[in-house]
Homo-oligomer: A and B are copies of this chain.
Amino acid sequence: MRNERFAIGIDIGGSSIKIGTVSESGNVSKKFKITNKGESSINELIKVLDTLVSSYIIGIGIGIAGLINKQSGKILNSPNISFIETINIVDILSERFNLQVFIENDANAAAIGEMWVGAGRDFPNFVLLTLGTGIGGGIIYKKKLLEIPAEIGHMSINSDGYKCTCGNMGCLEAYASANAILSNAINNLEKGRESILKSLHNGNYYKLTVEDIYKSALEGDNLAREILKVAGRYLGIGIANIINIFGPDAVILTGGLTGAWDIYVNEAIKEASRRAFKDLYNKAKIIPSILKDDAGVIGSAYLVLNH
């Protein structure tokens, strides 16, 4: 029996860093999750990797939210993880562990993961959207990653709308991401809107999470419900644009916000159906990720295992 080869996948997002060991058949084991607290988290990450690196590990794959120059390993622009622009994570890890290190945009990595062993296995052409702190996109075309930035979260859907962290105005991310939902909730609470959200975290509504909002919505809170629906409607506008441009077989949704599927995503599906070209809409299945939180870790490891 030959020894199976493994790779470590790392998924660096705005709020957390996920790490796992992935087999050649796409199984993930030894999973870790650390909070992304900025540059100090890199030391924590290295401590975790110290425990994982062994002779069976043939390399490290990193998925990271942002615009990446794959040749240099430099992160050109990462609005939600800005510290990462000043360090070269690829050099740091390859020197420390003497392993090949590959880097890819996190949503691209998640799309690869879903294509490999997830919800995208049966779809030659699909668009994956990561719905979390920000909104990312990864596009699979004819069973391969489309090597484009796919910064779908930074597509303006309201040309003179909210200022986005990227400098543009009216980006999808500024309307439909977790950050957008939380800002909308806080704005409303600051204005004195009544809501059970006020009673959470001892009244400190700056500590609200998207989970709080979803739970409150399920308990019948009008404000929470309205905020999720508004964000979902904007997501649907973005999805309609994506359907009209890419005509995919599927739109696969992943990330923390898909936990609020019944309200947020259902509203998005309704809105997309009203807006996209009918024939294209009918072809595109809007479905959840199968790999969920593991998609980025698995897809990042794929970069190493299938190099």
Q: Enumerate A236-269 residues with CB–CB distance to B below 8 Å.
A: 237, 240-241, 244-247
**Alpha-carbon gap, A279 to B85, bound state (A):** 13
Residue A36 interfacial (CB < 8 Å):
no
Residue A157 interfacial (CB < 8 Å):
yes
Q: Mark A156-180, 1 if CB is under 8 A from B, else 0.
A: 1111100000111110000000000
Partner of A76, one of B150, B275, B279: B279
**Alpha-carbon gap, A240 to B151, bound state (A):** 11
Residue A183 interfacial (CB < 8 Å):
no
Stretch at the interface among A40-48, A49-57, A110-118, A141-149: A141-149
Tell me which residues across on chain B come within 8 A of A150, comparing CB atoms: 245
Please tell me if the beta carbons of A280 and B141 are within 8 angstroms of each other in the complex.
no
Tell me which residues across on chain B come within 8 A of A244, comparing CB atoms: 149, 151, 154-155, 168
Partner of A245, one of B151, B159, B169, B279: B151
Copies of this protein, total: 2
Given the known inter-chain contacts A157-B157, A277-B67, A277-B77, please indicate yes or no for A240 contacting B149, CB distance below 8 A: no
**Alpha-carbon gap, A155 to B172, bound state (A):** 12
Tell me which residues across on chain B come within 8 A of A149, comparing CB atoms: 244-247, 277, 280
Tell me which residues across on chain B come within 8 A of A275, comparing CB atoms: 156, 167-169
Residue A234 interfacial (CB < 8 Å):
yes
Residue A121 interfacial (CB < 8 Å):
no
Residue A37 interfacial (CB < 8 Å):
no
Given the known inter-chain contacts A157-B156, A159-B234, A234-B159, please indicate yes or no for A276 contacting B168, CB distance below 8 A: yes
Residue A215 interfacial (CB < 8 Å):
no
Q: Specify the main secondary structure of chain A where it touches its partner.
A: mixed
Residue A278 interfacial (CB < 8 Å):
yes
**Alpha-carbon gap, A157 to B160, bound state (A):** 9
Tell me which residues across on chain B come within 8 A of A168, comparing CB atoms: 240, 244, 275-276
Q: Which bucket holds chain A's interface residue count?
A: 35 or more
Partner of A237, one of B77, B156, B237: B156
A69 to chain B: closest residue by CB: B279
Residue A152 interfacial (CB < 8 Å):
yes
Tell me which residues across on chain B come within 8 A of A77, comparing CB atoms: 277-279
Can you list the 8 inter-chain pairs with the closest CB atoms, starting with the nearest? A149-B247, A151-B244, A168-B275, A155-B241, A159-B237, A76-B279, A154-B244, A157-B159
A-B contacts, 30 listed (Cβ < 8 Å): A67-B279, A67-B280, A76-B279, A77-B277, A141-B141, A141-B148, A148-B245, A148-B246, A148-B247, A149-B245, A149-B277, A149-B280, A150-B245, A151-B244, A151-B277, A154-B244, A154-B277, A156-B157, A156-B237, A156-B240, A157-B157, A157-B159, A158-B158, A158-B160, A166-B277, A167-B275, A168-B240, A168-B244, A168-B275, A168-B276
Besides A77-B277, A156-B240, 4 other A-B contacts (C-beta < 8 A): A67-B279, A148-B247, A149-B277, A154-B244
